[in-house]
Structures are given as C-alpha cells and as structure tokens.
Amino acid sequence: MILNSVKNAEIIKRPYGLIRILAAGNSKRIISKRADLLLLEIEPGKKTTRHYHLKSEEIFYIINGKAVISGDDTTLEVKEDDVVLIQTGEIHGIKNIGKKPCIILMVESPPYDEKDKFYVAKSSNIERV
C-alpha cells in the first residue's frame, strides 16, 4: 500500500485552474498502472478545452460548485454530489458556472496518455461550453 495526501499532491497549473495528481501513471509520487485519480479545480467563469479520448474513459464526481459539461450531443448542468461518466470517444468540456471554484474528483482509465487527447476544432458545429 502507498499513502498520499491532497496536501502533498503534484500540481499542474492550467488556464482554467489546477490539476492535483493524487495517483497516476505519470505521477512522481504514486504510480498507478490502471487508472489516474485527479482533483480538478476550475475557477469561476473558466472552462477546459473541449476534447475526447479514443482509449480512456473518465468519471467525474462533483465535490463542490456548479458546472456545465458539454458533450458531443448533450449538455449537462452538474452540482455537488453529481457523478458523470464520459465514455471513450465522447467529446467533453467543463465550464464553471458558479461563483466559487468547482472541485471535481476525476478517475481516468487507462491512465492519461497525451497521445490519446484529441482537441475539437473551433470550426466544429458542436455546441461549446
């Protein structure tokens, strides 16, 4: 067994907020071969870039705040205690629509691989968050 703490997590800064790596295939502290466990912090009014994965699926548990998650043909408004499954191949992006940071616990399996992240072109006719 290996123990980690959110306080000791690796932090990646993004334009929308932070990613705290709790356990991951590319972690320096806790390496997981089959899944990533991340804590996303999205600042009010900020959004992630819309993308999809051909190999991974993601599960989001909303710990705090409110957001809109836009998929390829679905838009969901989510809040604290909601759980969302993003299946392999589904386009997704998250926008914080609240007044405080939106905190999301995320599981990704298999672990993140930058070669498996495909961004949606701005010219796409798919509705964006």
Give CA separation, 114 vs 20, 30, 52, 82, 105, in Å: 17, 19, 11, 27, 20
| Measured distance CA(30)–CA(64) in Å, rounded | 25
Has residue 129 been placed in a domain?
A: no
Has residue 127 been placed in a domain?
A: no
Has residue 36 been placed in a domain?
A: yes
The model's pTM is 0.89
Has residue 124 been placed in a domain?
A: no
Sign of CA dihedral 117, 40, 77, 88: positive
Q: Which two tokens stand for residue 3?
A: 């123990």
Whether 34 contacts 21, CB under 8 Å:
no
Has residue 26 been placed in a domain?
A: yes
pLDDT at residue number 128: 42
Has residue 22 been placed in a domain?
A: yes
User: Which parts of 1-129 are beta strand (E)?
Assistant: 10-14, 17-23, 36-42, 51-52, 57-64, 66-70, 75-79, 83-86, 93-96, 102-109, 118-119
Q: What is the mean pLDDT of each run of 10 residues along the chain (129 residues)?
A: 86 96 81 91 97 96 97 91 96 97 97 91 48
Torsion, CA 81, CA 78, CA 62, CA 36, rounded to 10: 130
pLDDT at residue number 11: 94
Has residue 126 been placed in a domain?
A: no
End-to-end CA distance of the chain: 39
* CATH number for 115: 2.60.120.10
Amino acid present at 93: G
Has residue 1 been placed in a domain?
A: no
The domain containing residue 101 runs over which residues?
A: 6-119
pLDDT at residue number 122: 59
Q: Which residue has the tokens 């993140």?
A: 112
User: How many domains does the chain fold into?
Assistant: 1
